[in-house]
Amino acid sequence: MTIQEQRRKGFEECFPIPHYMEWKETTYFLKEAKKYSRSQLDAHLFYLCTWSGWNAAMDSVCVELPGPCEAIDIAYFNADVIDAIHAAGVRTK
């Protein structure tokens, strides 16, 4: 799973998708063109803003991993550790 997919999973656990919205490639859309109530349109806009804020917050977090020599003294960073960080939707550098 990509970092973006992990973020989306975490977001949807906190903010379940309303039944009239769906995910398509990069964002949330209203399902099929039909008449929506004003409150549904407002909720869609709020959901998009919340998703944007979620991503901005997650983008502000990045774990800087120690270099190979530092890792021996500080901690052992193997692929499982890095995968766990990414599974939380957090980037590494």
pLDDT tens for each residue of 1-41: 888 888 999 999 999 999 999 999 889 999 987 788 999 99
Radius of gyration over alpha carbons of the chain, in Å?
Answer: 18
- State the pLDDT at residue 50: 96
Answer yes or no: pTM beyond 0.95. no
- State the pLDDT at residue 86: 83
The candidate with the shortest Cα–Cα distance to 21, out of 47, 39, 2, is: 47
How would you label 63-80 residue by residue, b for 16+ Cβ within 10 Å and e otherwise? eebeeeeeeeeeeebeee
Mean pLDDT (the chain) is: 84
Please tell me the distance from the alpha carbon of residue 47 to that of residue 17, in angstroms, as a whole number: 8
- Supply 1's token pair: 């799973």
